[in-house]
Amino acid sequence: MTSRIVTITLNPAIDVTYRVGELRLGGTTRVADVRSRAGGKGVNVAAVVRELGGESVVLALTTTGTPDEFRDGLDGLGLAHRLVPALPAVRRTVAVVARTGGTTMLQENGFPAGETAEAGMLDALRAELPAGAVVISGSVPEGLGADVPAKLVRLCTRHGVPVIADVSGAALREVAESGAVLMPNEEELKELGGLDAGPDLVAGGAPAVVATFGAEGAVAVTARGTWRARPAEVVTGNPAGAGDAGAAALAGHLSGMSEVDWPAALADVVATSAAAVLRPVAGEIDIAARERWIRDVKVERIR
């Protein structure tokens, strides 16, 4: 039995960080320090799975062009991957970190995926099954239907492989009845009708809804009960990618399990995601803090 976690990223990115003194809007700002890294939510998930001691593989669309900075970036991070070249280019996100005035994010939406993208992703996923668990994260680029995440989920469930879907908007509504564990944040949960809709989503085919509420923690709605967990401490730091770290932790609990211990899984989600807030870069966690917090997280049954 494989316990490998497959992460799926339909809208990959190159995350660029510019460090500047002061960002002058409408003027020229010199950039003293530039860093770039292969990004996209599934890449963060795969990196955290590895930090947790698991094996991961990044399944993603990438550019048809060369050189492929995204592929090179994954190689640089040492992450295993299976890539489907079907994008004219990989988008960039730019974080301008100013010594004064905080961080400004510029996020490209992404380039439209080509005609071969959907079949290519389904084939790539088929080649990775069976797997311990699959995590589908992030947005769907133009050119792909909002139903593509749901189609990928159904391919997994037909193979008996558990899936976590962390998607939003139309793709989230499409995926709701596909058999995936849903992992919305507070805003995404509203699109599904809020926490009150949890039991209906579970009755409709989701094995669980694990909703995250930022510094307030997370709630797991399942057929066997509903639990709330709060972080052991509220952490100040970088919350971007906290949800991705939580998804990586949850994937480990779903992998190879016929019965999930939901209170334990939820405590791990909350401890691991708080440990991600401590790190300035998405896709990394503070392992020692996670181990400390996993024992201190309070989990209460609320239904």
Ligand X SMILES: Nc1ncnc2c1ncn2[C@@H]1O[C@H](COP(=O)(O)OP(=O)(O)OP(=O)(O)O)[C@@H](O)[C@H]1O
Residues touching ligand X, count (CB under 6 A): 21
Partner from Mg ion, ligand X, none contacting 212, C-beta within 5 to 8 A by type? ligand X
- Cα–Cα distance, 249 to 274 (Å, whole number): 12
- 241 contacts ligand X (rule: CB under 6 A): yes
- 39, 162, 243, 252: which one binds ligand X (CB under 6 A): 243
Q: Closest CB to Mg ion among 20 and 210?
A: 210
CB of 108 to ligand X, least distance (A): 17
- 212 contacts ligand X (rule: CB under 6 A): yes
* Part in contact with Mg ion (CB under 5 A); list of ranges 45-53, 105-113, 241-249, 267-275: 241-249
Partner from ligand X, Mg ion, none contacting 241, C-beta within 5 to 8 A by type? ligand X
- 246 contacts ligand X (rule: CB under 6 A): yes
CB of 217 to ligand X, least distance (A): 5
- Which of 29, 35, 30 lies closest to 16, judged by CA? 35
- 243 contacts Mg ion (rule: CB under 5 A): yes
- 149 contacts Mg ion (rule: CB under 5 A): no
- Cα–Cα distance, 87 to 64 (Å, whole number): 6
Which of the residues 221 through 240 are near ligand X (CB under 6 A)? 231, 234-235, 239-240
CB of 246 to ligand X, least distance (A): 5
The answer for residues whose C-beta is within 8 angstroms of residue 206's C-beta and 6 or more apart is: 176, 177, 179, 180, 181, 182
Partner from ligand X, Mg ion, none contacting 277, C-beta within 5 to 8 A by type? ligand X
Which of the residues 256 through 295 are near Mg ion (CB under 5 A)? none
- 263 contacts ligand X (rule: CB under 6 A): no
CB of 89 to ligand X, least distance (A): 24
Name the residue whose CB lies closest to Mg ion: 243
CB of 48 to ligand X, least distance (A): 10
CB of 43 to ligand X, least distance (A): 12
Q: Which residues bind Mg ion (CB under 5 A)?
A: 185, 243
Residues forming the site for ligand X (CB under 6 A): 185, 212-215, 217-218, 231, 234-235, 239-244, 246, 270, 273-274, 277
